[in-house]
Amino acid sequence: MRTQVAIIGAGPAGLVLAHLLYNAGIESVILENRSRDYIEARLRAGVLEQGTVELLRQNGVGVRLDREGLRHDGIYLQWPGTRQHLDFLELCGRSVWIYGQTEVVKDLVAARLGAGQPMYFEVSDSAVHDIDTDRPAVTFLDVDGNAQRIQCDLIAGCDGFHGISRSAIPAAASRSWERDYPYGWLGILAQAPPSTDELIYAWHSNGFAMHSMRSPSISRLYFQVSLDETLQDWSDDRIWTELTTRLAHEGWELTTGPVLDKSITPMRSFVSAPMRYGRLFLAGDAAHIVPPTGAKGLNLAVADAKLLADAIIASYGFRGVSPLDAYQETALRRVWRCTHFSWWMTSMLHTEGSDPFARELQLAQLRYLSTSRAAAQSLAENYTGLPFGW
């Protein structure tokens, strides 16, 4: 097979990249090691920045998002005795949308297959070759076990944190930065109408908790657990009791309901550079991970895909590869900004042991956000998303 861009991974990064290239008349092939059903059901993030929403709309994949997505103009920050609303629209003129990553994936897969563009599900043994030449290739076994080879101009490694692309960059040429947090999030999806109009991020002495949602009848809630806790420790009743305690606010009640899904996710910050080596380009979780507190992971993957698509489109017009050189510098600048914001939100809201000094600093920061317009504005512009080429 021959194509212009071989894309490994059909998460938001790979699918958005393929879609933007297609709209610009550039051919690609997507390889995904899971099934279509699996990637369309996998429960992931749910907050889209305004720039992500505009990009999807401008590229013809915003119809269902406009119909079913919930626009939120702010969030609540909470600590004992206070539930403070931050009005993003008023603070920075931008909003966010609640629309599950699974829904974004479904819309992009439907657009891809609807346009008759090549996409291989359930592949195995994907590998990249000759990335430091101008004739790179990807090999894999298709769903029937047949060996396939794609000759291409460029390879986009969009295969997430556990993919194979990042490790194809020689260790001597790469560097990574990492921070593991000593806690994780227990998340539930519940058949219960949300008890709030906008998301609540709550500091509590028992640990962080948050109330999110997926639709007018489905709530999504999370709370901080220590790394040695397992789902066996948490019956549905115990989960609701803990959420009720941590989210408690005078005159407000949490609506409970059947738990449809529950899982525990560890929290990590990770950045790997370079995001380009020869003809291999990394985008999304393949190159970086942020803890979910700032709702940045999905948006950062989309931003990488947009920056990479622009660079690839420009490079074909240019009849050379020069515009591609700019990709990793622009992308990494944004990655580090979002890495800082996600670390900062995480550090402000999660309890670590019972360090009384740390606790007072967290509360001082939360109070500052509720009284200083400058502080609130800074949170608002980061949360709703900085421009792609920031």
Q: Which stretch binds ligand PHB (CB under 6 A): 43-51, 127-135, 161-169, 374-382?
A: 43-51
283, 314, 315: which is closest to 300 by C-alpha? 283
Pairing of strands 28-31, 119-120: parallel
Q: Which of 19, 166, 211, 220 binds ligand PHB (CB under 6 A)?
A: 220
Residue at 208: amino acid letter: F
Task: For the CB of residue 46, give the shortest distance to ligand APR in the complex, in Å.
Answer: 9
Give the pair of three-digit tokens for residue 273.
């550079």
- Does 11 bind ligand APR (CB under 6 A)? Our answer is yes
- Does 293 bind ligand PHB (CB under 6 A)? Our answer is yes
Task: For the CB of residue 384, give the shortest distance to ligand PHB in the complex, in Å.
Answer: 13
CB nearer ligand PHB, residue 308 or residue 369: 369
**Residue 201 is among the residues annotated as catalytic for this protein:** yes
Which of ligand PHB, ligand APR, none does residue 34 bind (CB under 5 to 8 Å by kind)?
A: ligand APR
Q: Which of 295, 298, 305, 309 binds ligand PHB (CB under 6 A)?
A: 295
What's the CA gap between 208 and 158, in Å, rounded?
31
Per the listing, tokens 């101008």 go with 134
CB nearer ligand APR, residue 40 or residue 229: 40
Task: For the CB of residue 236, give the shortest distance to ligand APR in the complex, in Å.
Answer: 25
Choice among 99, 136, 292, 350 that is catalytic:
292
What's the CA gap between 158 and 345, in Å, rounded?
26
Q: Which stretch binds ligand PHB (CB under 6 A): 42-50, 114-122, 256-264, 300-308?
A: 42-50
Which of ligand PHB, ligand APR, none does residue 158 bind (CB under 5 to 8 Å by kind)?
A: ligand APR
Q: Which of 3, 212, 219, 382 binds ligand PHB (CB under 6 A)?
A: 212
Which of ligand APR, ligand PHB, none does residue 32 bind (CB under 5 to 8 Å by kind)?
A: ligand APR
Which of ligand APR, ligand PHB, none does residue 11 bind (CB under 5 to 8 Å by kind)?
A: ligand APR
**Residue 72 is among the residues annotated as catalytic for this protein:** yes
- Does 224 bind ligand APR (CB under 6 A)? Our answer is no
**Residue 120 is among the residues annotated as catalytic for this protein:** no
Q: Which residues of 229-243 are buried (b: 16+ CB within 10 A; e: fewer)?
A: eeeeebeeeebbebb
Give the pair of three-digit tokens for residue 54.
């505009």
Binding residues for ligand APR restricted to 294-313, rule: CB under 6 A: 297-298, 301
Task: For the CB of residue 315, give the shortest distance to ligand APR in the complex, in Å.
Answer: 22
Choice among 201, 222, 277, 327 that is catalytic:
201
What's the chain look like in SS3?
A: CECCEEEECCCHHHHHHHHHHHHCCCCEEEECCCCHHHHHHCCCCCEEEHHHHHHHHHCCCCHHHHHHCEEECEEEEEECCEEEEEEHHHHHCCCEEECCHHHHHHHHHHHHHHCCCCEECCCEEEEEECCCCCCCEEEEECCCCCEEEEECCEEEECCCCCCCCHHHCCHHHCEEEEEEEEEEEEEEEECCCCCCCCCEEECCCCCCEEEEEEECCEEEEEEEEECCCCHHHCCHHHHHHHHHHHHCCCCCCCCCCCEEEEEEEEEEEEEEECCEECCEEECHHHCEECCHHHCCHHHHHHHHHHHHHHHHHHHHHHCCCHHHHHHHHHHHHHHHHHHHHHHHHHHHHCCCCCCHHHHHHHHHHHHHHHHCHHHHHHHHHHHHCCCCCC
- Does 51 bind ligand APR (CB under 6 A)? Our answer is no
**Residue 368 is among the residues annotated as catalytic for this protein:** no
Task: For the CB of residue 120, give the shortest distance to ligand APR in the complex, in Å.
Answer: 9
**Residue 262 is among the residues annotated as catalytic for this protein:** no
- Does 47 bind ligand PHB (CB under 6 A)? Our answer is yes
Which of ligand PHB, ligand APR, none does residue 254 bind (CB under 5 to 8 Å by kind)?
A: none
Q: Give the per-residue contact string, 130-159, with ligand APR (x = CB under 6 A; - = no).
A: ----------------------------xx
- What is the contact surface with ligand APR in residues (CB under 6 A)? 8-14, 31-34, 39, 44-45, 101, 123, 126, 158-160, 163-164, 284-286, 297-298, 301
Active site (catalytic) residues: 72, 201, 292, 296, 383
- What is the contact surface with ligand PHB in residues (CB under 6 A)? 45-47, 199, 212, 220, 292-293, 295
